[in-house]
Structure 1
Amino acid sequence: MGGVLVLGAGGLIGQFVAADLIRRGIKVTAAARRFSAAQRDLFGEAACETAIASLDVGRLRDLIAQSGADVVLNCIGVLQDQPGSSTHEAHDGFVERLIAALCAAGRPVLLIHVSIPGEHGADITPFAQSKRRADGLIIDSGLPHAILRPGFVMAPAPYGGSAMLRALAALPIDLPRDLAERPLRYVAVEDIAETAARIAQGWTPGQPYAAIYDLMHPEPNNMQSVLAQLRNWLGDIWRWRVRVPGFAIDLGARAGDLSSWLGWSPPLRSTAMAELRRGVTGDPARWMADTGISPRGLDALLRERPATVENRWFARLYLLKALIVATLVVFWCVSGLIAITVAYGDALEMMERFGFPGGQSHAFVITSSLTDIAVGLLIAVRRTHRTGLVAGIVVAVGYMLGTAVLTPALWTEPLGALVKTGPAIVLMMVALAISDNR
């Protein structure tokens, strides 16, 4: 075979499948908008960084030609609209251009497309509707194709929904009953990779091919049972649990929606909750019969990779990360706003008491307050998050050293404001250490 072009190789499924195909000795071109340093090292010369979802038909045709691939695996997808990405552009809009590029390739190319399970009539979110429209475009195109509809993906590397489930399993909580009892059929990412490899290796260029498979374990499951298995895997230490009310989950989803406009991609968003409440179901019988794959069960998967200390740390820190970021944003922004508004007079009086003339006092209070607010805003935005943390550490250390030299009496204030800056620096160091998403 001529090889496989993996589109979206920076994502959870795309990365695993591309790496698996390379291990099998198959020529792979791994394309993504952006790779982490570890992914670049993993793929080496196979890595191709380009803004795939925004490529026009001509550039997509050129990418296919340059890869020499006779199989294209499309793993591109976004959960919901946010600045810089939309479900329409990432799903049906992109697939329409991809189909046109494949038709213009001048040779037969098999398209393997990763979609979602479920019935068309039950699609209520723009995410699901755009995914389903993309499926329809592929089916109507006449191109050789395989549409893979995986259930809830379980992978060694936690990301997105699987990361959220691990975090929930580490907390002493139970989900609302209506959510806990929703069907949740899962699939191991290894089985997705195995499916893609068998289809790619079994297809002969020019051969007609049309298949739609639900990739999931045949045993019915729900969120409650999956969480129970993950708790056992992590080593459940809680003797009690509190059932979270549904409105608290919805508030968390709304907060996730808000953070997405700052560039974050949290798994807990309104689209994710709507899809989970719909349930993850399907019929894997045809997939199992045609490919001969016996899906891995969750118990077997978890036994194959016993929980290590990093797994437990990740699960416990995952949701705390959002709390840490929110705390730091509030800390910096509110401290700056207080000093420049309601406490402005007190701040000036304090500066003058320590020997600063009036003009310098005004300049210092205004400058330091605006600096604090700027640090908070930098931390809040995903793209500038690490810059904001580094800036916050530098500014905080500068405050401590500056006051030690110029106004050492501030260190002995009754409320110990400067002493409390030390823990804030440590918290920013923690946030910096866990800032990576993958």
Structure 2
Amino acid sequence: MLVALTGGTGFVGRHVAATLARRGHTVRVLARDPARARFLADQGVEVVTGHLADGAALARLARGVDAVIHLVGIIVEQGPQTFAAVHVEGTRALLGAAREAGVLRFIHMSAVGARDEPGATPYHRTKCQAERLVADSGLPHAIFRPSIINGPESAPIRLLARLHRWSPVVPVFGDGRFPTQPVWIEDVALAFALAAERPDTIGVFELGGPQVLTYDEFLLAIGRAAGRSRRLIHVPLGLVRTLAGGFDLLGPAAPITSDQLQMLIEGSATPANAIESVFGITPLEFEEGLRRYLGPGST
């Protein structure tokens, strides 16, 4: 099977590409910067240079493929790279190219909490709008809403591990009771591959790990895996919201934005978890995954 992939140079994409290749599929990746995709080309992946606003590149990407896996997303807006431009218009353009090319399957990565309603963040609203485009496209499709993804390239988890190693305390936003359900990257990648292979996998699927953890428990697990579990200091939410509002002015350099804080507090549990029930994957426990890359000798 020939599978086209967007976001192939990112955290999730590189694992999806590797999983597809291991399962005997041919992979074609869209990359804005071919230098960043060189590691994929070295693995036998075909690289199409371009981006989601480049119609000619999308046509080359989709030509002759059996399935498209769409992973591109942003968590902070920067210049023309707005949530609407990337999540909504980018998805619209890719769907058009896929329909024109006669693609048989479209697999789309959304997010837990995606909804288009008052109070939702722009990130969640545009993720929901993209889901609607996929659902209304006429293409057989699967939409994934993963929880927090755990893996070696997770910058937020590595940052928290460094805090445990080098800071005497670790700050926690609010009471630390909001739920998380982190899922191992390889389990997510396998779910994407299985969805591409199974034409009867149609609908919206939440992906989470085997445990629902409070944010306090999430942080303590990272500390144990890093070998430096620290005391947690709870910071009042009012103060954190004020700080995050100031951080919003920093753009991509912000340690956390107001929207990211809201999404964290809302939680990311997946009560309708499809990892095991739909895809038959035995999910890796959070702390076991952490130990694989935060154990002795890691940085």
Shorter chain as normaliser: what TM range?
0.7 to 0.9
Work out whether residues 114 and 124 of structure 2, in 8 Å CA contact, stay in contact via their aligned partners in 1.
no
Q: Which of the residues 279, 284, 290 maps onto 1:291? A: 279
C-alpha distance in 2, partners of 1:122/1:49?
39
- Cα distance between partner residues in 2 of 1:237 and 1:287: 30
Whose helix proportion is higher, 1 or 2?
1
C-alpha distance in structure 1 between counterparts of 2:123 and 2:12, whole Å: 17
> What is the aligned partner in structure 1 of residue 226 from structure 2?
234
Find the aligned partners of 2:274 and 2:9 in 1 and give their Cα distance: 29
Provide TM-score, normalisation by structure 2: 0.88
Summarize deviations over 1:330-375 as a string: whole Å, max 9, x none. xxxxxxxxxxxxxxxxxxxxxxxxxxxxxxxxxxxxxxxxxxxxxx
Query: TM-score by structure 1 length?
Result: 0.62
State the alpha-carbon separation in 2 of the partners of residues 269 and 285 from structure 1: 28
Q: Gaps spanning 5+ residues in structure 2: where?
A: none
After TM superposition, list the pairs within 5 Å mapping 1:4-403 onto structure 2: 4-34=3-33, 39-44=37-42, 45-46=44-45, 48=47, 50-56=49-55, 58-65=56-63, 68-105=64-101, 107-118=102-113, 120=115, 121=117, 124-159=120-155, 161-170=156-165, 171=167, 172-178=169-175, 180-203=176-199, 210-236=202-228, 238=230, 240=231, 242-247=233-238, 249-250=240-241, 252-254=243-245, 256-260=247-251, 264=252, 266=254, 268-311=256-299
* Structure 2 SS opposite 1:88: helix
SS across alignment from 2:52: helix
Give 1:9 deviation, angstroms. 1.0
Q: Distance in 2 between matches of 1:244 and 1:269?
A: 16
Larger relative CO (CA 8 A, sep 6+): 1 or 2?
2
> CA 1:251–1:157 in structure 2 vs 1: closer, same or farther (change >3 Å)?
same
More displaced 10-residue stretch of structure 1: 245-254 or 276-285: 245-254
1:244 offset after TM fit, Å?
Answer: 3.2
Q: Which stretch shows the higher mean deviation, 138-147 or 19-28?
A: 19-28
Instruction: Tell me the CA shift for residue 162 of structure 1.
Output: 3.0
Per the alignment, residue 360 of structure 1 pairs with none
- Percent identical pairs in the alignment equals 26
One-letter amino acid of the counterpart of residue 295, structure 1: P
The letter of the residue matching 2:87 is H
Deviation at 1:35, TM superposition (A): 5.5
Q: Which runs of 5+ in 1 are unaligned?
A: 312-438
Deviations 1:276-328 (A, max 9, x none): 111112224444222111211112223444523343xxxxxxxxxxxxxxxxx
CA deviation after TM superposition for structure 1 residue 229, in Å? 0.4
Taking the aligned partners of 1:153 and 1:81, their CA distance within structure 2 comes to 21
Confirm or deny: 8 A CA contact 1:8 1:14 kept in the other structure: yes
In 1, Cα distance between equivalents of 2:243 and 2:136: 39
Find runs of 4+ consecutive structure 1 residues off by over 6 angstroms: none
Shift in Å, 1:275: 0.8
| 1:171-221 C-alpha deviation (Å, 9 max, x unpaired) | 31231333x111111111111111112222333xxxx65221100024221
Number of matched pairs: 295
Q: Structure 1 residue 34: deviation in Å?
A: 2.6
* More strand by percentage: 2
Provide the alpha-carbon RMSD of the alignment: 2.5
Which protein shows a greater Rg? 1
Question: Structure 1 residue 274: deviation in Å?
Answer: 1.5
The more displaced of 276-285 and 87-96 is: 276-285
